[in-house]
Chain A
Amino acid sequence: MPTPLIQLNNVERFYQTGPTRTYVLRRINAEINEGDFITIMGPSGSGKSTLLNIVGMLDSGWSGEYVLAENPVHKLNPKQRIELNKRYIGFVFQSYHLLDDLTVAENLDVPLSYRNIKKSERASLVADSLDRFHIVGKKDLYPSQLSGGQQQLVAIARAVIANPKLILADEPTGNLHSAQGEEIMQLFKKLNEQGTTIIQVTHSEKNAEYGHRTINLADGWIAS
């Protein structure tokens, strides 16, 4: 029995509007093991991105229990959560979110610069990553000089450069045409095969097929 990387017990998220509570997530219970490739699906407003943000510790206004790699996230303060995030998680967004003023190489360096890694070591990791993702020729280009697929490629390279155990991808192919999307999904598959746990949010059935398991959400509840 593999150790669960993520355990969610009774996780709930609501927004208070005057006296009314609007729930976005209700009693979410889930276990995700190391090496899993999970897909979260559901209609718009079902709480997919909210769940991903909670797992990625971008959202702190939830209740319930969340354990990540045996660390009780629900008991940690914001500073400790940032540390945990840095150690375990890499993010990939639908709109890439590369930093416009930085070159490809500098974008890759950003997560490393927040992790107490020596400059020389960082340069070597960036070089490895450029090589690994075949984007050495683009290292001095700015995001605006790249196509959408190339930007997402860089975003994935940035997400994995600090060697996270878990990649959270929010509609990673949402802004790409089908050929580029497939290329990105192949890359996720490869990363997963190399041991990285992946959770993706998607509307695409085709992308969902890359995963081992699908969590369906509806109105904030796990439907299946």
Chain B
Amino acid sequence: MNFRIAIRSLRKRPSLALIAIAALTLGIGMNTAIFSVIEAVLLRSLPYPHPEQLIRVNEFTRSFGQVSTSDPNFEDWSHQAQSISSASEFRPVDYTLSGEGDPVRLRALEVSAAFFTTTGVSPAIGRGFRPEEDQPNAGGAAVITDALWREQFGGTTAAIGRTVDLNGKPYTIVGVMPPMFTIPTLPCEILVPAGLTADRDRGNHRGESFARLKPGVTLEQAKAEFNAISQRLARAYPATNSDWSLQVEPLHDSMVSNVRPALLIVLAAAGLVLLIACVNVANLLLVRASERRREIAVRASLGASRAQIVMQLLAEAMVLSLTGGALGVAFAYWILGRLVFLLPTGIQALGFSIDTPVLLFSLTVSVLTGLIFGLIPALGSSRPNLTVSLKEGGRGSTSGEARARLRSVLASAEIGLALVLTIGAGLLLKSFAVLERVNPGFQSPGVITMRISLPGARYTDNAAVSRFWDRLLQQSRQWNGVIAAGLTTFLPLTDTDSQTSYRAEGEPLPKRLADRKWVDIAVASPGYFAAMEIPLYQGRTFEETDDATHPPVVIVDESLVRKNWPGQNPIGKRIAVSSGKLRTIVGVAGHVKPYGLDAAEHAQVYLPYRQAPRPDVSLCIRTPANWAAVVDQVRQTVRSLDSSVGIFDVKPMRQWVSNSTARRRLTTLLVGLFAATALLLSALGVYGVIRYSVAQRTHEMGIRVALGAKPAALKSMVVRQSLRICAMGIAGGLLAAMGVTRMLASVLFGVGALDPVTFVLTPILLCAVAILAAYLPARRAASVDPMVALRYE
């Protein structure tokens, strides 16, 4: 291939080269950026030795689906399973590090002692946990990450053996993990023993677990064994495990399963953009090949074989695609810099870069693009009709007409592909708009939230905890600019959950967990409903007197009332929550969507904080004032009450709501962006074909004008040609879209995969684009001077 000649030839036609390179830069850049995310999230192995041996062990119940691990169940299967060499439980929690300046919130992982054996990664300095440290009430040991060691403890070995205050309890740092240690999708700064044997309640699911398969054991063998263990445990503990089983899957799969569909959708969209870009380039190269008909014929007459001509034409395609690829990598780098901030925090932590696999991907895509889409025009042009092509001014050969047809078909294909992508983006956009209109059950504007956690070591009894919150709420009345302030243990849309069983008065509590009724439970203070503007439909909210010395009360939501007492007044009726004593219903609140705007409805109950004090709460403040000033007042109050207590996760409630739809928003944004690019590229494609066709028909236009054709008639003729191309594309695109959008059904909300509005409006949009693309060539056709046109020919 003669690249030097190819480069020179392209430089002489900069507009063609620039359009082709721009199209490929967009296509290859977007694919490279998305691939780098896919590579990091879906393809990269877990950063542990023999990652293929790591499995996730989930507990599964018919009522709830996948649930967390309960300690006794974990203990049983981890001892019984012969297919695994070790197993570990882990729980992501937040710890407050105090006594080192201002209290610092640390993202911690409570793990069982076998965590290090199971991951295969041991501390680089010091040691892991001893079995005796992983016992209830054992002396605290902690292993910190390399980053925390450097930032908080100066990176000196003196940190080992040092005692720190975590949640008010002393912990000794016994090890520092290696610098490269990470837990994909789970940010973590410190590891502490879980003390798993503390909890004997088999129905209390509160951790996650994973295990390492013995060498040579297959996933299928492990599945079979865990199935047998499930059945054994179900027989042994019918009350908790009858409706229960253990499920095994590769650890990596389980970590990325929630982001996989969105990523694959985005990759498919990016792939479509690349395909459209390639078709665009093929079309441009066909135009180029038409212009080079004479040159190709001359080469053939000078002895060039077909292969030699194809290679020469391919050289240009390769120069275009490799330049597009190189610029695409730079473009991908730029996109990644912006994209990474839009990704969920856990995914961000994986770290994206344009590394060797990504570069190889880009190179492969570039070369294949050049080969495949350069080959079509090259093969089509490599057998010229020499006698016609070499004639002076030889034009209008049969092969030229065939090429014109092929160009129209390619432009139609671009329209069709763009239509598929635009319909997909339209569906996602509409779905997102529906989601945004969903009422979460509270009014987030004007609410600021923060978390406060009382150190368990110092707040050992309910009275102490309750007293702290009493004093805080009392002082909240002095804060300037605060309309209402309240506490809750279960702030909606914060990726937490809290469920418990309940029974109405007079109903027995079924022995089997599977037969029980379940409800979301939150502990709240009186001001919570006012701060969040959760409507109260019946009865009253909590009062100061709803404390341990008064009869237990509960506020239920409308959903619970609909389920249990449809058409009745529930006020005064009694329910028991968490196998506890009966509580009188004093109010009915509106339903709140705690798990996401698109999540299924769960009934909810609220307990007054004085009757069920909890050390970890979220404080919600409704204020029209400057949030920073309000937060300062809260911080001062908390510090004045207890200097070891800090406030964390300060966020406007609107941000929590926004975060809860972040993944959908990102998918919609990216697919929308790709669809816009696809529209632009297809418009360019149609424009190119029409422009070339008008240029070829200058003579014809001149004759038409000479015979009396009005400019409007010529414009209309050109636009009709564009619309014909568009109509062909739309017909094919609609058929393809009907198949493709079904695959989107699982990520759509409130919109059908064959939504008629989207399927009607999008083709109209494409027609508008086609008319727009034809406008400039149409104007040119309308302004043809017959004298010039006829002389030119």
Contacts and interface: CB of A to CB of B under 8 A. Distances in A.
- Most-contacted residue by chain B among A49, A56, A58, A162 (CB, 10 A): A58
Nearest to A168: B301
A95 B392 contact: yes
B563 interface: no
Nearest to A115: B303
A102 B392 contact: no
B294 interface: yes
Contacts of B298: 97, 99
B302 A110 contact: yes
Interface stretch (A4-12, A29-37, A85-93, A131-139): A85-93
A53 B387 contact: yes
B242 to A, nearest CB: 79
Interface in B1-47: 5, 8-9, 12
A99 B305 CA distance: 17
Contacts of A79: 305
A162 B302 CA distance: 10
A114 B304 contact: yes
A114 B302 contact: yes
Given A94-B392, A101-B8, A56 B301 contact: yes
Contacts of B302: 91, 110-111, 114, 158
Interface in A150-172: 158, 162
A6 B299 CA distance: 24
A59 B387 contact: yes
B248 to A, nearest CB: 62
A146 interface: no
Interface string A76-108: 000100100110000101110101111000100
A50 interface: yes
Contact of A59 (B8, B294, B308, B386): B386
Given A99-B298, A101-B9, A101-B12, A114 B387 contact: no
Contacts of A53: 386-387
A85 B302 CA distance: 8
B5 A114 contact: no
Contact of B303 (A50, A101, A111): A111
Nearest to A159: B302
Contacts of B299: 99, 110, 114
B776 interface: no
Interface string B367-395: 00000000000000000001100101000
B386 A114 contact: no
Contacts of B5: 101-102, 106
Interface string A115-147: 100000000000000000000000000000000
Given A99-B298, A110-B299, A110-B302, A58 B386 contact: yes
- Most-contacted residue by chain A among B5, B386, B387, B392 (CB, 10 A): B387
A114 B390 contact: no
Given A56-B301, A115-B303, A99 B295 contact: yes
A114 B8 contact: no
Contacts of A91: 301-302
A135 to B, nearest CB: 18
Contacts of B9: 101
Contacts of B305: 79, 82, 114
B308 A114 contact: yes
A111 B298 CA distance: 10
A56 B298 CA distance: 13
Nearest to A97: B298
A95 B297 CA distance: 13
Interface in B281-310: 294-295, 297-305, 308
Contacts of A58: 300-301, 386-387, 390
A111 B302 CA distance: 5
A85 B303 contact: yes
Interface string A26-70: 000000000000000000000001100100101100000000000
A49 B387 CA distance: 9
B390 A93 contact: yes
A115 B387 CA distance: 23
A154 B390 CA distance: 17
Contacts of B301: 56, 58, 91, 97
A188 B294 CA distance: 25
A158 B303 CA distance: 12
- Most-contacted residue by chain A among B299, B303, B386, B387 (CB, 10 A): B303
B1 to A, nearest CB: 12
Nearest to A82: B305
A210 to B, nearest CB: 23
A114 B303 CA distance: 6
Nearest to B301: A91
A114 B308 CA distance: 8
A114 B41 CA distance: 50
Nearest to B2: A113
Contacts of B390: 58, 93, 97
Contacts of B308: 114
Given A91-B301, A115-B303, A97 B387 contact: no
Contacts of A82: 303, 305
Nearest to B309: A114
A151 to B, nearest CB: 13
A173 to B, nearest CB: 14
Nearest to A85: B303
The 8 A-B pairs at the shortest CB distance, nearest first, are namely A86-B303, A58-B386, A114-B303, A111-B302, A97-B298, A101-B9, A114-B304, A53-B387
20 contacts: A49-B387, A53-B386, A58-B300, A58-B301, A59-B387, A82-B305, A91-B301, A91-B302, A93-B390, A97-B294, A97-B297, A99-B298, A100-B295, A101-B5, A101-B12, A101-B295, A106-B5, A114-B302, A114-B305, A114-B308
Given A56-B301, A111-B302, A162-B303, 19 more contacts: A49-B387, A50-B387, A53-B386, A58-B301, A58-B387, A59-B386, A82-B303, A82-B305, A91-B302, A95-B392, A97-B301, A99-B299, A101-B8, A110-B302, A110-B304, A111-B303, A114-B308, A115-B303, A158-B302
